[in-house]
Chain A
Amino acid sequence: MERRAYYRNGWLPWLLIGPQLILVLVFFYWPTTQALYWAFTLEQPWGGGNTWVGLDNFLAIFRDREYWTTVVRSAFYAIVTTGLSMTVALTLAAFVDRSLKGTRFFQSVYVWPYAIAAPAAGVAFRFIFAPESGLIGSINAIWPGIWNPAINGFHALAMVIVCHAWLGIGYNFIFFLAALQMIPRSITEAGAMDGARPFQRLIDLQLPLIAPTAFFLLIMNLISSFTDSFGLIDVMTEGGPIGQTEVMVYKIYFDGFKGLDYSGAAAQSIVLMLLVIGLTFVQFKWVERRVHYN
């Protein structure tokens, strides 16, 4: 028996996927090709025309020492943000999964940060971390000058990373919790009967079993920390001080919109896109091999 469903007339399937296709073409492929075209030309900001320059835009950004600093900084940002966010979320999920007291309450509370818009969280964190008046800034009263994101680039970067990681915790938490609850109780109970303590069970039983979820979250978090940091940085530091919180996506915004260098920004977008595609590809190729579904 033919198990495959198919349509008798040729145009109906196209009609059905049409709306989706149009959306993707208009909002993804069209801007991407436009950016690709600009990346190989010098585009006048007011649209007066452009000249074909081949690979010049790419060579210019690759020659720029500052650009490479931005790339390294973005990688650092992505790794630390992802690591921090996933570790905290997993810890919280593991506790909630153990049905401790108040589980139901925490179950919903931990998701809240995800519902907060990044710029709003950015403003709140800026106040919390403000060197002169903020909550964290009050440690300056004990050790003067120990915390100052306004003049110390590393402090500023740490501040943005903590905020970004915090925003992601809710999302990661809900996935981890769902995955943990999918594990049959009998397995955990069997482990307990063999004398494994909760932490041991987490490492030996639960983690391998939720590996597919962890892998999915790893990809989502890495992509998000490469591409979604713009709003936060714009609100919290505007790339400063001394440009030390400027990551790739913020540099694209600054060069393109503030610096009116559309072509340079387009070339940087293409590089960022290739980087994210490459990263995802590598993860599917190498990391996924170690993940066992079922």
Chain B
Amino acid sequence: MKRSMLLGATLLASTALFAAAPASAATKFEFWYGLSGDLSERIQDMCKTFNASQTDYEIVCVSQDNYDNNLQNTIAAFRANKQPTITQIFDAGTLDLMLSNAYVPVRQLMEENGYQIDWSNYFSGIASYFSTSKGELLSMPFNSSTAQIYYNTDALAKVGFEGIPETWSQVEDVARKMKAAGYDCPVAFDPAGAWQWFEQFEAVHNQPIATNGNGFEGLNAEMVVSKGKFVDQLTWIKKMYDEGLFVHKSKDAGETANDAFVNGKCQITSSSVADHGTFGKQAKEGVHWTNAMLPLLDGFSRTNSLVGGASLWTLKGKSAEEYKGAAAFYAFLATPEQAEWWSTVTGYIPVTNTGFEAMKAKGFYDAAPYKGRELAIASLTATPPTENSRGIRLGNYASIRAEMVKTIQAVLFNNVPVQQALEEFDAKGNEILRRFEATYAGQELL
């Protein structure tokens, strides 16, 4: 229903276009994406702008509601040879795509269609996530984000903290003072946020999640989470939870961590920088907040954080004309105006150095509501990507992430000892990895 309405809308838009310019029939191609609500509307705007900007191609953009659905539907469509030309795949699905043999590498696509793209212009932390280990970019960086921590500045001021906490021990300190000052919920915590609380923690502390450089060097990587710093961190989170300094907030509990933060009920939360815009719009009257880079453990210096979000994959089995259209669409996305518009209306970060510099020069980041978003870039580019921070290249990683959510829940709610819980997590992760390795037996990582 929704889909046919969207199709109808695009058809209407395109007929209007044809009426204006009765040119030869445009080549149509489909783009499936996994965003909904406000973000979906913005993508529809983007598609309309693209269709209006030229007459050779017509992109039909279809929302599949969320990343999971989009991946499932894309796979089903691909198996039935009805796949879209472009599909949006989330970070955790990158290796699943890489081995699928179902895509055209973006570098090859752009070259074959005569576009000169300066690939080194892309932020190295973003490019490395979606590239082969030799540095060839396979998919087009699209909506990129990274994790941030958000503070209620009034609550910080009330407990007399100068500036912004930069280490977890400072966070503990202010959380304890906030509790004493009468705040029920100093830190909102949702175990489902394994991405910000676990993966990003490992990256900024330069800790490996798996051997082989988080899987970049081969499918026989093994999980090593129970041997690293996350053991201490989860132990700390458990302690904070038991003291009531971290408060469980989730959809199941009746209120999400983000909602609790913008309503002023919780004073600290961690989330994607993509929520920066949403927080700005939703923050209740009188709630003042700011964002910052993720805190560190004492004695650590910052390594770059991981890029989150999704990238665009071009699928095999389409006509040369459709590929020309896809290349034109990517080139359109990379124009400075378009990059800036996308970053402004969503909160996702610009993906190229020049895009970021241009926005900075225009003073985009100097004042509210966009001030603070530059910290995401600072976090992503804090260091050149290391073996542990260039990305996660593990098979069926979405399942492994789900296991981490269960692990954190087991520690918090059922008092499973941290070391034991993480060893079980590693064992389950290894099972998933071995199964993936067997499914793609004989294939080499690019």
Contact = CB atoms under 8 A, between A and B. Distances in A.
The yes or no verdict on A and B being binding partners is yes
Interface of A: 42-48, 51, 53, 60, 126, 130-134, 137, 148-152, 156, 237, 240-243, 254-255, 257-261, 263-264
26 contacts: A42-B438, A45-B96, A46-B100, A46-B101, A48-B99, A48-B101, A48-B102, A51-B438, A51-B441, A131-B254, A133-B254, A133-B255, A148-B253, A150-B253, A156-B252, A254-B402, A257-B68, A258-B68, A258-B398, A259-B399, A260-B75, A260-B398, A260-B399, A261-B435, A263-B439, A264-B435
A242 B413 contact: yes
Nearest to B103: A46
A293 B252 CA distance: 47
A241 B251 CA distance: 11
B444 to A, nearest CB: 14
Interface of B: 68, 72, 75, 78-79, 96, 99-102, 248, 250, 252-255, 396, 398-399, 402, 405-406, 409-410, 412-414, 432, 435, 438-441
A263 B75 CA distance: 15
9 residue pairs, one from A and one from B, having the closest CB atoms: A46-B100, A132-B254, A150-B252, A150-B253, A259-B399, A151-B413, A130-B254, A242-B409, A47-B79
Contact of A240 (B398, B406, B412): B406
B250 A260 contact: no
B413 A46 contact: no
A45 B100 contact: yes
A233 B101 CA distance: 34
A278 to B, nearest CB: 27
Contacts of B398: 258-260
Contacts of A258: 68, 398-399, 402
Nearest to A242: B409
A47 B316 CA distance: 13
A43 B399 contact: no
B410 A43 contact: no
A46 B102 contact: yes
A59 to B, nearest CB: 12
Contacts of A53: 438
Contacts of B435: 42, 60, 261, 264
Contacts, number: 93
Say whether chain B's binding surface is mostly helix, strand, loop, or mixed.
helix
Contacts of A45: 75, 96, 100, 439
Nearest to A63: B431
Contacts of A130: 253-254
Nearest to B405: A240
B406 A259 contact: no
A44 B440 contact: yes
B253 A132 contact: yes
Contacts of B414: 242
Contact of B409 (A60, A241, A255): A241
In this complex, the member of B79, B253, B406, B439 whose beta carbon has the largest number of chain A beta carbons within 10 angstroms is B439
A59 B89 CA distance: 32
Contact of A48 (B100, B254, B409, B432): B100
Given A46-B78, A242-B406, A259-B399, 11 more contacts: A42-B435, A46-B96, A46-B101, A47-B79, A51-B438, A60-B435, A132-B254, A133-B254, A134-B254, A242-B410, A260-B75
A134 B398 CA distance: 31
Given A242-B413, A264-B435, A131 B253 contact: yes
Given A48-B101, A137-B254, A243 B406 contact: yes
Contacts of B75: 45-46, 260
A43 B439 contact: yes
B231 to A, nearest CB: 19
A275 B100 CA distance: 34
B439 A42 contact: yes
Given A42-B438, A134-B254, A240 B409 contact: yes
B11 to A, nearest CB: 30
A258 B401 CA distance: 11
In this complex, the member of B99, B250, B253, B255 whose beta carbon has the largest number of chain A beta carbons within 10 angstroms is B253
A132 B410 contact: no
Contact of A150 (B68, B250, B432, B441): B250
Contact of A261 (B78, B101, B396): B396
B248 A151 contact: yes
Contacts of B413: 151-152, 241-242
B409 A257 contact: no
A47 B83 CA distance: 13
Nearest to A57: B435
Contacts of A133: 254-255
Contacts of A255: 399
B400 to A, nearest CB: 9
Contacts of B439: 42-45, 261, 263
A264 B438 CA distance: 12
Contacts of B405: 240
